Amino acid sequence: MKRGTETGYCDWNGRYDWIARCAGLAACASFLALAGCGTPGAPLPPSLRLPDPVTNLAATRAGDIVTLRWTNPTKTTDKQSISAFQQEMEADLCRSESTPSTTAKASAHCLPLLRQTVKPGTESILTDALPAWLTAGPARPLLYWVMLRNRKGHTAGSSNIAVAAAGAAPAAVVGLVASASAGGVILRWQSDGTATAIRLHRHVLRAAQPASRGANSPKPTSMVGLPPEPADEDLVVDAPARSGPAGAVDRQARFDEEYSYTAQRFVALPAQFTPTTLAASDAKRDATAELAGPVSAAVTVDTTDIFAPSVPRGLGIVFTAATHTMDLSWMPDTEPDLAGYLVDRSQDDGPWQQISPADPISVPAYSDTTAQPGHRYRYAVRAVDTHGNRSQRSAPAEALATP
């Protein structure tokens, strides 16, 4: 019988062992399982340990400084975790005034501005202080990209291309001041003689808290029904004054809070400013490009409500002789934090006295049922807000209580 042609043998390291040499079929099967006989699977290639390219690089210029932000990946290109060698990843930051046609060409032509060790899953923030030749002349594209390298210096390629702007930036905003008013926060600054747009950035330092109140104080209701307030928000002034004091009013500011404000001039750049030679898969561009000046020093303002509501208007009186009742009505106030009204009366030119309840009445009407026949009465109304601020008395209205 020809060896190697029998069906009952096991191939192990090139040797042929007869089943007969096994101590029974079960023993052979156990041996085969332990020995790993059978068809081996395809070998897995070793990991190249190349970090995934960055996909969310963003560039923002303020004055002569460009700030770059991105999130570092947590996986390699072959889906392996890179947390085990988190000190082995370095980022090269690249800058160019010309537009590479693909990210592959961007990778090949990167002369790093700097190299920094980064950790997976973290946000990296780097700043680039532009040299003089990039802060002069007309606005033009300035391109940035990042390449992540493993410990052997190998990379999987460039990040998305982030676009900033080279050229002369607008002047810094100086003289910024802020003050609270009944209509909002008033902001003023010095004009630079141009109508360059200004971005006012508001940050909430202290949010309003429900106020404690006494038995006779109005209930604070000014924040009821308002949506949550963002911690940061921008207010854009499109065409500030060319001369004299320039300013704006932040009417979205809320009472009983503390804010900080900064100001920054900026020029919106045309759509064609953003390079278009990169394919959509190779570039991630901002929706709008701009050339912005330095951010001003911050100013703070406390918006504690010390402002009285508007004086009520249109007070009128109707006297009903049968019941000796003075029916008063007036135009309602429109302040969002209005708590109600107080009604005052003077009899026969005597002193003013409050005749309405201690708590403000909520409707713009009141009936005085204590008027005595034969006396002349004058009435006036005051508005009260939820902080207890009271307006001046309205213009008085008078009537004679006839018998």
Residue 277 has a pLDDT of: 44
CATH code of the domain covering residue 334: 2.60.40.10
Contact 159, 71 (CB under 8 A): no
Percent of the chain with pLDDT over 70: 76
Percent of the chain with pLDDT over 90: 52
* Predicted confidence band of residue 299 (pLDDT cuts 50, 70, 90): very high
Q: Which domain holds residue 195?
A: 177-265+295-302
Nearest to 365 by CA among 353, 381, 352: 381
pLDDT at residue 286 tops 80? no
Residue 45 has a pLDDT of: 59
* Same domain flag for 81 and 38: no
Higher pLDDT, 336 or 310: 310
Can you tell me whether residue 19 is helix, strand or coil? helix
For 232-262, how does the pLDDT look when each residue is reduced to its tens digit (9 = 90+)? 999 999 888 777 778 999 999 998 899 999 9
* Same domain flag for 62 and 162: yes
Is 16 contained in some domain?
yes
Residue 274 has a pLDDT of: 60
Is 221 contained in some domain?
yes
Is 390 contained in some domain?
yes
pLDDT at residue 190 tops 50? yes
Question: In angstroms, rounded to a whole number, what is the distance separating the alpha carbons of residues 363 and 360?
Answer: 9
Residue 275 has a pLDDT of: 54
* Same domain flag for 348 and 390: yes
171: its two tokens: 């002047």
pLDDT at residue 159 tops 70? yes
Q: Spell out the long-range contacts of 18-27 with Cβ–Cβ below 8 A and sequence spacing 24 or more.
A: none
For 338-361, how does the pLDDT look when each residue is reduced to its tens digit (9 = 90+)? 999 999 999 999 999 999 999 999
The 10 Å CB-count burial string (b at 16+, else e) for 286-309 is: eeebbbbbbbbeebebebebebbb
* Same domain flag for 338 and 239: no
How many domains is the chain partitioned into structurally?
Answer: 4
232 Cα distance to chain centroid? 5
Is 285 contained in some domain?
no
Is 345 contained in some domain?
yes
* Predicted confidence band of residue 19 (pLDDT cuts 50, 70, 90): very low
Is 53 contained in some domain?
no
CATH code of the domain covering residue 92: 2.60.40
* Same domain flag for 90 and 188: no
* Same domain flag for 189 and 247: yes
* Same domain flag for 66 and 36: no
pLDDT at residue 279 tops 70? no
* Same domain flag for 70 and 31: no
* Same domain flag for 36 and 78: no
> Which of 166, 199, 220 lies at the terminal end of a domain, its last residue?
166
* Predicted confidence band of residue 380 (pLDDT cuts 50, 70, 90): very high
Identity of residue 216:
N
> Mean of the per-residue pLDDT values for the chain?
81
* Same domain flag for 63 and 150: yes
Higher pLDDT, 190 or 272: 190
* Predicted confidence band of residue 46 (pLDDT cuts 50, 70, 90): low
For 87-145, how does the pLDDT look when each residue is reduced to its tens digit (9 = 90+)? 678 999 999 887 655 555 556 667 788 888 999 999 999 999 999 999 999 998 888 99
How distant, in Å, are the alpha carbons of 1, 4, 41, 129, 162 from that of 68? 78, 68, 46, 11, 9
* Predicted confidence band of residue 30 (pLDDT cuts 50, 70, 90): very low
What value does the mean pLDDT take over residues 328-338? 91
For 63-72, how does the pLDDT look when each residue is reduced to its tens digit (9 = 90+)? 999 999 999 9
Is 260 contained in some domain?
yes
Is 223 contained in some domain?
yes
Nearest to 326 by CA among 278, 366, 269: 366
